[in-house]
Amino acid sequence: MRMWNIDPNLMCNKHLLGEHVEMHMFASCLRRGKSIQGYIDKGLVEVENIYVRHELLVREMVSRNFNHKSPMKLIFGPAAGFVNREKSMKDLSNRCVRCRLRIEGKK
Closest CA to 101 of 3, 9, 4, 5: 9
Of the two residues 76 and 29, the one the predictor is more confident about is: 29
Residue 77 has pLDDT above 90, yes or no: no
Q: What is the pTM of this model?
A: 0.93
CA dihedral (100, 20, 54, 56) positive or negative: positive
Q: What is the mean pLDDT of residues 77-103?
A: 94
Residue 107 has pLDDT above 70, yes or no: no
pLDDT tens digits for range 13-67 = 999 999 999 999 999 999 999 999 999 999 999 999 999 999 999 999 999 999 9
Asked if 23 contacts 3 with a C-beta cutoff of 8 angstroms, the reply is: yes
DSSP 47: G
